[in-house]
């Protein structure tokens, strides 16, 4: 909320829990996913019909809102949700916001693990543009999936495959990163995989890095 409010937005959090339904989509329980998404859209309907944009911090949830929801429900409200959903980077880029409006002490480097759903549906261009505008030199890892893949990495018999995917690029990149380099991983699953590697550091969300830069430049 700190970053969005600094950019001039009034932020409203839904008054009750809402869910994208991905848990059920990923396990083929589409009937349950439709019911969950239907409840979410009913909760968001007044804001959607008022033209309010919906900022989603978790890439997998944003991908469902942008793609799966309209396909599963086929309703006008689901199509509104698809059109009005934004990632944090997208809405800040649209607003022309960036931290160098205040003097930033030095430049900061970052490596970024792009969540698979973000790569497939939203892309990372807005994030790269925003980070560069904020004086952050970002290296987007070309490592593919982190290996956790939702619940795959937690299931019995999958650990070796999950760890091998992480060792393909993500874990070595985190190990080799300088202490001052931020490790960006907006996806909860990607951050969990970084933690599971016992690499001596964790991943952070874009919102956390931007809030940190705001504090430095205040």
Taking only the tens place, the pLDDT of each residue in 46-80 is 999 999 999 999 999 999 999 999 999 999 999 99
Residue 93, domain member (yes or no): no
Is the CB of residue 136 less than 8 Å from the CB of residue 110? yes
DSSP state letters, 12-26:
---SS-----HHHHT
207 secondary structure, DSSP code: H
Residue 55, domain member (yes or no): yes
Is 127 in the same domain as 171?
yes
How many domains is the chain partitioned into structurally?
2
Range of the domain at 179: 98-217
pLDDT in tens, 84-142: 999 999 999 999 998 854 445 555 899 999 999 999 999 999 999 999 999 899 999 98
Is 9 in the same domain as 102?
no
Is 71 in the same domain as 103?
no
Distance (Å, whole) CA 101 – CA 55: 23
Residue 91, domain member (yes or no): no
Residue 163, domain member (yes or no): yes
Is 193 in the same domain as 102?
yes
């Amino acid at each position: 909320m700190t970053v969005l409010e600094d950019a001039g937005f009034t932020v409203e959090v839904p008054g009750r829990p809402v869910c994208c339904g991905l848990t059920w989509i990923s396990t083929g329980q589409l009937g349950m996913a439709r019911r969950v998404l239907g409840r979410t859209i009913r909760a968001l309907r007044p804001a959607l019909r008022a033209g309010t944009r919906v900022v989603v911090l978790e890439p997998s949830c944003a991908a469902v809102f942008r793609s799966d929801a309209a396909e599963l429900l086929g309703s006008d409200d689901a199509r509104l949700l698809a059109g009005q959903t934004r990632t944090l980077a997208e809405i800040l880029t649209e607003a022309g916001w960036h931290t160098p409006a205040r003097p930033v002490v030095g430049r900061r480097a970052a490596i970024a693990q792009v969540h698979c759903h973000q790569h497939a549906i939203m892309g990372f261009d807005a994030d790269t543009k925003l980070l560069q505008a904020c004086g952050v030199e970002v290296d987007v890892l070309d490592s593919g999936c982190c290996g956790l893949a939702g619940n795959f990495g937690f299931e019995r018999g999958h650990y070796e495959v999950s760890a091998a995917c992480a060792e393909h690029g993500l874990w070595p990149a985190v190990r080799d990163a300088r202490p001052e380099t931020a490790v960006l991983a907006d996806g909860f699953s990607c951050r969990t995989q970084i933690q599971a590697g016992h690499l001596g550091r964790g991943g952070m969300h874009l919102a956390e890095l931007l809030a940190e830069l705001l504090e430095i430049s205040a």
